[in-house]
Chain A
Amino acid sequence: MASLGAIATAPLKAKREGDKSAKSIVFMGVLWFTIFFSVLCLGTLLVNAFFDGWTRLDGNLITRYSSTVLPETAGARAAILGSALVIVMTAVLAIPLGVAAGVYLEEFADPRRWYNKIIEVNLTNLAAVPAIVYGMLTAGVALSIGLPRRVVLAGAIALALLILPVIIITTREAMRAVPREIREGSLALGATPLQTVWRQTLPSAVPGIATGSIIALSRALGEAAPLLLLGGLVFVSYDPNGLFSGYTVLPIQIYDWVKEPQLAFQQVASAAIILMLGLLLLMNAVAIVIRNRYQKRW
C-alpha cells in the first residue's frame, strides 16, 4: 500500500525547478521591466502634462478661441469643434465603406482569384503605411478634383483613408469570429448568402466592428501629420460651420501652442493635451465596454 501511495503521488511533485529556474526568472524580469518601462513613460508624460497644465483646465479652455496675444485666457474652442466635426465626418466616410469592403472580402470574395489575393496582401500593408502618406494622397486627389485642401471634408477624407484598412481588417476579424455553424444553419434553411450576412453574421459582428471602429477613430483623433500636410490651419478663431469650412483640430492646436516660447502657451498646450488624452481614454473605454457587454459567447 505504501508503495502504491508513493506511485500515486510521485508525478505531482515537480522534478524540474519550474518557475524558479534562473532562466525563467531572467525572462520574467525582462517582461516586468518592459511593462514597467512603458508604464513609466506614459506616467511621466501624464504627470508632466498635468503639472504644467492643470491651472489652465478651466472654462476658457473650451469656450474661447486661441489667441496670439493673450495666452493666459486662450482656449481650444475652434480645435475641439473642428476635431469633433472632422471625426464625425471621418466615421461617416470610413465606417460604411470599410464595413462593406470587409464583408465583401470575408463573405463573398473568392480567395482563389488573383485580384482578391492582391487585395488581401495589400490590405495588411496599407494598415502600416505612415499617416502622412494619406495626407499626400488626399492632397493629390483634392488638387485634381478641385477640392480645397484646407477644409473639413479634405481632412476627413485623409483620416478616413488612414483608418479604412483598420476598419476593413476589424470587420473581417469580427465576421470570422462568427461560427461557421451559424452561417450553415442559415443557408440550410434556404436563406441566401446575402440574407445570411444581413441577418446573422453582420449583427453578430457589430460589437466587434464597433469596438474596432472606435479605436480606429481615436487614432484619427490624435493625428496631426496628414492634416498639417494638407495645410491644416493652425490659427482659427471661428467655429467650423460645414464641410467646406476651414478648421483646426486639437493635435494641430497643441502643436501650434507648443512652438511658442511663452510659459503660458506651454501651460495651455498641456491643458489641451490632458483634454485630448481624456477624450481618447473615454473613447477606448466605450470600446471596451461595448466589447465586454455585447460580445457573444458561443
Chain B
Amino acid sequence: MTSHTYSTRADSAEDDHEAAPRVEVNRDTRRSLPPDPKPIMECDGVDVYYGDFRAVTDVSLGFGHNEITALIGPSGCGKSTLLRSLNRMNDLIVSARVEGSVTFHGQSIYGKDVDPIEVRRRIGMVFQKPNPFPKSIYDNVAYGPRVTGMKVSSMDDLVEEALTKSALWDEVKDKLKDSGLGLSGGQQQRLCIARTIAIRPEVILMDEPCSALDPIATSRIEDLMIELRDEYSIIIVTHNMQQAARVADRTAFFTALAAEGSGDRTGLLVEYDLTTKIFSAPADERTENYISGRFG
C-alpha cells in the first residue's frame, strides 16, 4: 500500500496560487491520511552531537511512504542536522555523531555493514543553495547514474525523463550541452532535483530548497514536489509556513530548548502530526505561537 487516495492533482494545482499570504492548509487536507503512517524511514530516540555539543535530542518520528513531511522550527533548532543524519551526510563532518536508531525500510542506516554510499543513493538530497556541478546540464543529470554504475539502456532517455519529471525539460532541451551554471537560480534548483531523481532514490531530502528562489520559482518547485510525491517520499525543511502548509502531508515542529544540566540549547521535537492538525489545532502552545508568528 504505497499510494493513498487523494483528489486529482490537476484541479488542486490551480486553486493553489492565489492563496499565498495566509497560512492556509488547502489541497493536502483533502488527502485522507491514515493517522499513523507506515513509515519508509523512522527515527527512534535520535541524538545528534557535534563533538560534545548535543544539537538534537531524543527525536522519534516516522516519515510516511509517498508523503511529504515538513520539518519546521526556529533557526538553530537542528532541522538541518536531523535531515543530514537521515542519509549520513553528517558523516562528512568529522565531529558529528548520531545516536539512537535511524531506519530505512526497517534496516538501520547506521548499521555496521551498511555502506553510506548506498544509503545516499537510496535517500537523495537537495540542498539549500542550488549547487549544479560546473558541467553541462546533461552531464549534471547523468552524473549520478554514471558514478553509481546504474544499468541504463539509454542515458539520453534517462536524462530526458529526469528533466521532464523535474519540469525543466522544455526550458533546456535545446541546450543540454550548456553549462548548468548558466541557468537561473530556480532552474538550477530544478536541475539539482533532476540530478537527484536520475538515480531513482526512494526518499528525497530537501533542506530549504526554495530559500534562494523568488516566489514564482518557489511555486514551481512546490508543484513539482506535489507531483513527485506519487513516486518518492519527500522530507523537506522549510522556514516558510505557507510552504509547509501548502505541500506537506505531515509537519513536525521542532524547537531549541536549554537542556537540563548544561546551559546549551538543544533541538527537540515538540509536535508531529498531520499538517492540517498542526496548522489548525496544534496541541502544543509553542507550536501555536510559532505558527502564528509570535515566536521564532
Q: Write the residues of chain A forming the contact surface with B, with a CB cutoff of 8 angstroms.
A: 110-112, 179, 181-192, 195, 199-200, 204, 296
Contacts and interface: CB of A to CB of B under 8 A. Distances in A.
Given A189-B195, A192-B147, A184 B120 contact: no
13 contacts: A182-B131, A182-B133, A183-B92, A184-B127, A185-B133, A185-B195, A187-B89, A187-B92, A188-B89, A190-B117, A190-B121, A190-B147, A199-B147
Contacts of A184: 89, 92, 125, 127, 131
A181 B199 CA distance: 19
B257 to A, nearest CB: 29
A200 B87 contact: no
Contacts of A187: 89, 92, 120
A183 to B, nearest CB: 8
Given A185-B192, A188-B120, A191-B117, 7 more contacts: A111-B94, A183-B92, A188-B87, A189-B144, A190-B121, A190-B148, A199-B147
Residue among B89, B92, B131, B199 with most chain A CB within 10 A: B131
Contact of A188 (B94, B118, B124, B134): B124
Contacts of A186: 133, 143, 147
A127 B193 CA distance: 44
Interface of B: 87, 89, 92, 94, 117-118, 120-121, 124-125, 127, 129, 131-134, 143-144, 147-148, 192, 195-196, 199
A190 to B, nearest CB: 3
Contacts of A183: 92
A188 B147 contact: no
Contacts of B94: 110-112
Main secondary structure of the interface of A (DSSP, over half): helix
Contact of B124 (A111, A179, A189, A200): A189
Nearest to A183: B92
Closest 9 A/B residue pairs (Cβ): A190-B121, A181-B131, A189-B144, A191-B147, A188-B125, A190-B148, A185-B131, A195-B147, A190-B120
A191 B144 CA distance: 7
Nearest to A195: B147
B148 A191 contact: yes
A296 B125 contact: no
B144 to A, nearest CB: 4
Given A189-B144, A192-B117, A181 B195 contact: no
A181 B134 CA distance: 12
Contacts of B118: 190
A117 B144 CA distance: 34
Contacts of A296: 134
A293 B166 CA distance: 34
A223 to B, nearest CB: 36
A237 to B, nearest CB: 52
Contacts of B199: 189-190
A72 B129 CA distance: 67
A190 B144 contact: yes
A192 B196 CA distance: 15
B94 to A, nearest CB: 7
A195 to B, nearest CB: 5
B134 A204 contact: yes
B131 A189 contact: no
Contacts of A111: 94
A179 B181 CA distance: 14
Contacts of A185: 127, 131-133, 192, 195
Contacts of A112: 94
A156 B125 CA distance: 48
A182 B144 CA distance: 13
Residue among B124, B134, B147, B196 with most chain A CB within 10 A: B147
Residue among A181, A195, A200 with most chain B CB within 10 A: A181
B185 to A, nearest CB: 13
Nearest to A185: B131
A189 B87 contact: no
Nearest to B87: A188
A98 B106 CA distance: 45
A200 B118 CA distance: 19
Nearest to A297: B181
Contact of A200 (B117, B127, B133, B148): B133
A112 B120 CA distance: 25
Contacts of B143: 186, 189, 191, 199
A183 B144 CA distance: 13
A251 B136 CA distance: 47
Given A112-B94, A184-B89, A184-B92, A189 B147 contact: yes
A190 B38 CA distance: 26
A179 B131 contact: yes
A185 B143 CA distance: 10
A200 B144 CA distance: 12
Contacts of A188: 87, 89, 120, 124-125, 127, 196
A193 B147 CA distance: 11
Contacts of B195: 185, 189
Contacts of B120: 187-190
A27 B194 CA distance: 56
